[in-house]
Structure 1
């Protein structure tokens, strides 16, 4: 469960910026959109939507989370020993371009709250820290300044032996997990439960869903999810096969290419959708299977591809981050997915959905999908710096027309399109 994420001096985030999923004191939609945590007086949001004009920094926020997650999970691996750290500071200011970038995550794992962060440039880790909160008291587990690492009695004693072997371009926490320190393993597991995907038909998302379909129990969840969308089919079928010499020869594939394909020994996958065939009296007489990615619409393909990560997140109480969430999706499908997360029955495990959108109808008050603390607006100033605020931070009234006011620019975060009146694409 993600409580908050903070970034500073990374891509367009020059100043310290935080997205906070801690529920505020707002009274609206408390029973559906919030869930309690094992910690006293800590209630979290189940979902968050981020709006803003193109190039305002929405994707940069997700890139920051993705970078932090990847660096935590992989920095201690031997393959990273001589590599530069792929971090990019805010480069439009002389104040920041030579300074390190900051990342910090606060999250719940089991019955404890952790606050973990690090300060890093492309060569080394400058600082690193880990705190734990149990019974509302925060305690330091370890802290680091360059290669000086100090652990406390609250942390695993065996970790003290790892301080001297931690490389300057690796995180101490990652090293602890690599050497089976329980707290390190637990936190890396928590980080792996924060998933980022693109909503633009990326291969990872499709493959993730296809792999889930291999499990009959999970496939049943996916088929139920798809059936509820009324896309014209209710079942899917996955077939895996390898191309043979005979198949390639029949397809008139040149010998050189046939050889390359056969040597790669790659498995091919076809996902089909089951449709009903009717006779002249509209009676069901047969079924036919269509190739999902060849015969179905882009929106249908995307909905099916997203089904795996969405079901997996709901089943295991993970945090799912989706960029371009509703591109190619009908607003009613987007609404249905959001309602799955903002639900007691379908989201009993505290799963969270964070996504970027350009569809303002989702925040129309009549839809009752979001509270004001769940709606974030990104804005980039003339110096290229991104800032983010929720409608709660902006002190927007409960009875305001969120969709209308957003489109009118009252909350910022919309493109400032200016075309010179003398502009002509073609000569008269």
Structure 2
């Protein structure tokens, strides 16, 4: 589980930003099933305010951990996107920090800074358990200043091997090198980023359809559960299957549009037999069951199916799902239902987390008599200054009352982080031909 995340000098974020999944006690009703750590966080803000950049910061941190050694060499440039609206700031290192609970049940603190070519600093600490309780002090596993590495007493493994590798690969993280070397003591921290953290762009939901086709084709338990869920989504769909269909017309169109790609070895088997797998939906109509191909289904239906699939996968383990623009092509009711899966211990037994950006105020537009989908301490805002620097802040910083209608106040600009549509007057002047 993610506890805290902070970063600086990344895209529209110039200064250090702090994001947390820790709950505020006055907004917790009854006993907290997740020990004070939230399973959801909703991020609101105007278009181009930096919401997506906040999620991408964590995705960049994950990518660095997973690929800095495995996919690079001594000359590799590091993937970096500093704040570019200030020349001096762009030259400074980018910094990432995360505090989390890994699959071994222990709490870790990990951070690093880097420029375009080298890792500047890096450190990993772990809170060991004493008599079954977590220590209040973190034990050092390793600390790094450029090429110099200091190992803590808890570190077990090939220290000399790691040091020698870092001398040659100054652009690789120690955590990544340890994973490649098979060092057990740091593996849970690496696995948190490699296996538990998952980044999605909701607008690219069609990517999930290939996985759905595979699961349905192999008649897996996952595929059967997904088909079962679709029946309860009020789409009028009885079942969904992966069927072989004649892809010749679609393939010919593809070949005309992308001749070089179509001639590649990867597509050769498909063009030879013209047969492919496609999702087929069985609808119950007046004359019985009718089968419709996926291209005759609405984008809303396809998006809902993809999100059902993601929810099934991510709720089956202690994952951290990061989704940009979750409300893309989804009705607010479905967004609310998906979020509700993460807040209910019955559907989220592994304490999986969902962090998402949205414009859907239905999640926070709650009358006093209604039960909230998400609480005030699970809401974050992003706002951009006139100088182009983004800032994140929690709703709890605004002195909210527990019964406050956050959605209504947000739309009225009470909390900031909303568009300022001053373009209306400018548009009127254009239409009146006052502007050339």
* TM-score computed with the length of structure 1 as normaliser: 0.89
Aligned to 1:423: 429
Structure 1 residues 290, 171: CA separation in 2 closer, same or farther (over 3 Å shift)?
same
**C-alpha displacement at 1:278, in angstroms?**
2.6
Q: Is the contact made by 1:209 and 1:309 (CA closer than 8 Å) also made in structure 2?
A: no
Q: Is the contact made by 1:56 and 1:378 (CA closer than 8 Å) also made in structure 2?
A: yes
Q: Please say if 1:132 is aligned against 2:140.
A: no
Aligned to 1:269: 277
Structure 1 residues 23, 160: CA separation in 2 closer, same or farther (over 3 Å shift)?
farther
Q: Is the contact made by 1:176 and 1:184 (CA closer than 8 Å) also made in structure 2?
A: yes
Structure 1 residues 29, 338: CA separation in 2 closer, same or farther (over 3 Å shift)?
farther
Aligned to 1:230: 234
Aligned to 1:194: 197
Aligned to 1:239: 243
Q: Is the contact made by 1:104 and 1:118 (CA closer than 8 Å) also made in structure 2?
A: yes
Q: How far apart, in 1, do the equivalents of 2:372 and 2:329 lie?
A: 22
Aligned to 2:407: 403
**C-alpha displacement at 1:240, in angstroms?**
5.7
**C-alpha displacement at 1:269, in angstroms?**
3.1
What do the CA deviations read for 1:260-289 (whole angstroms, capped 9, x no partner)?
Answer: 26763356431111112433xxxxxx4222
What do the CA deviations read for 1:341-382 (whole angstroms, capped 9, x no partner)?
Answer: 111211111011111110111102235111111010111111
What do the CA deviations read for 1:69-114 (whole angstroms, capped 9, x no partner)?
Answer: 1110111125444221110111112441110000111110122001
Q: How far apart, in 2, do the equivalents of 1:257 and 1:249 lie?
A: 16
**C-alpha displacement at 1:427, in angstroms?**
4.7
Aligned to 1:283: none
Structure 1 residues 175, 289: CA separation in 2 closer, same or farther (over 3 Å shift)?
same
Aligned to 2:343: 342
Q: Secondary structure at the match of 2:416?
A: coil
**Which residue of 171, 174, 194 maps to 2:173?**
171
Q: Secondary structure at the match of 1:424?
A: helix
Structure 1 residues 210, 82: CA separation in 2 closer, same or farther (over 3 Å shift)?
farther
Aligned to 2:49: 56
Q: Secondary structure at the match of 1:423?
A: helix
Q: Secondary structure at the match of 1:234?
A: strand
Structure 1 residues 322, 101: CA separation in 2 closer, same or farther (over 3 Å shift)?
same
Aligned to 1:356: 357
Q: Is the contact made by 2:345 and 2:351 (CA closer than 8 Å) also made in structure 1?
A: no
Q: Please say if 1:97 is aligned against 2:98.
A: no
Q: How far apart, in 1, do the equivalents of 2:37 and 2:307 lie?
A: 24
Aligned to 1:282: none
Q: Which runs of 5+ in 2 are unaligned?
A: 129-133, 271-275
Q: How far apart, in 1, do the equivalents of 2:178 and 2:151 lie?
A: 12
Q: Secondary structure at the match of 1:329?
A: coil
- Following superposition, which runs of at least 4 residues in structure 1 exceed 6 angstroms of deviation? 248-259
Aligned to 1:317: 318
Q: Secondary structure at the match of 2:397?
A: coil
What do the CA deviations read for 1:218-263 (whole angstroms, capped 9, x no partner)?
Answer: 11221233222211213211236796xxx57996998978982676
Aligned to 1:20: 20
Q: How far apart, in 2, do the equivalents of 1:130 and 1:252 lie?
A: 52
Q: Please say if 1:73 is aligned against 2:66.
A: yes
Structure 1 residues 404, 249: CA separation in 2 closer, same or farther (over 3 Å shift)?
closer
CA-based RMSD of the aligned residues comes to 2.6
Q: How far apart, in 2, do the equivalents of 1:24 and 1:290 lie?
A: 48
Structure 1 residues 407, 417: CA separation in 2 closer, same or farther (over 3 Å shift)?
same
Q: How far apart, in 2, do the equivalents of 1:171 and 1:9 lie?
A: 19
What do the CA deviations read for 1:11-59 (whole angstroms, capped 9, x no partner)?
Answer: 111111121001121244455xx543xxxxx521011100000011100
Q: How far apart, in 1, do the equivalents of 2:156 and 2:79 lie?
A: 30
Q: Is the contact made by 1:200 and 1:327 (CA closer than 8 Å) also made in structure 2?
A: yes
Aligned to 1:330: 331
Q: Which runs of 5+ in 1 are unaligned?
A: 37-41, 280-285
Q: Is the contact made by 1:21 and 1:45 (CA closer than 8 Å) also made in structure 2?
A: yes
Aligned to 1:39: none
Q: Secondary structure at the match of 1:320?
A: strand
* TM-score computed with the length of structure 2 as normaliser: 0.87
